[in-house]
Amino acid sequence: MLTYRQLLEKSNRKVLNNLIMEKTLKDLSHKGYDADKLKLTAEATERAYNRVVDSMLSKPFKWAEYSIILDLLEDAMYDEKTFENTGEKYKYVAVHYYNSSAKMLPKDADTEEFNDLKYHKFTGFGLCPWNDYVDCDVVITPEAVIYLGNEHLLEKIAAEILWEQTFYGFEESDTVTFKEELNKRVKEIEDGTAELFELDPNTFEFKKIKKKTAKKKTAKKKK
């Protein structure tokens, strides 16, 4: 069993870059970029991923309590314009934190407890400090291995984890900023001060939900 750090150390950097670029170009192709912009964006992305790998390898060793697991999942496909289920399904490799000894979440759990990894068997790690999982053991299910194929398997596994890791940005500070903003939005929702929107099923446009204001009760005067 290898750790994430060992995967990055053993991976052929050229092969890893090529795999990442394949995923990047596939993602960017849906955004209507012209050839020149696509090339410039891809080159900048490759440099960014190289900085991420170098940063991870420079991290000091830190014992990791959990593992990283790659599993093959299946999900429904939806029309990009109407958001309707097309009836078709697609497969993809999901990357998660894996806690084999997760505890039962208390019924009256508060937000802090709900976010505690010890209560979840599977959870995302994109918003966690990078040093928390660079030395995690990496586990992959047989179904995911078959889906990825044995050729350049180490690099494919590393590419999947890197893709998940950089979902919120290529700098560790990006994840901190996003997490702070997310916590702020959650607090606004809990406090009832957030601006909420709903999707109109006819126009597919988002409309602001009007906040309900409590009416002040006035005591009736006795005659």
Instruction: Enumerate the domain spans of the chain.
Output: 4-168, 171-211
- Nearest Cα neighbor of 68 from 149, 132, 25 is 132
Q: In the structure, what pLDDT confidence band is assigned to residue 217 with cuts at 50, 70 and 90?
A: very low
Mean pLDDT (whole number) for 32-42: 71
The CB density around residue 185, as the number of other CB atoms within 10 Å, is 12
Using CA atoms, how far residue 207 sits from 79, 82, 118, 189, in Å, is: 21, 17, 38, 17
Q: φ and ψ at 100, to 5 degrees?
A: -70, -20
- Average pLDDT of the chain is 81
Q: Label residue 6 by pLDDT band (50, 70, 90).
A: very high
**How far is the C-alpha of 49 from the C-alpha of 164, rounded, in Å?**
12
Any residues with CB less than 8 A from the CB of 77 and at least 6 apart, and which?
85, 86, 87, 88, 89, 90
For tokens 């960017």, name the residue.
Answer: 28
Q: Does the global pTM surpass 0.85?
A: no
pLDDT tier for residue 151 given thresholds of 50, 70 and 90: very high
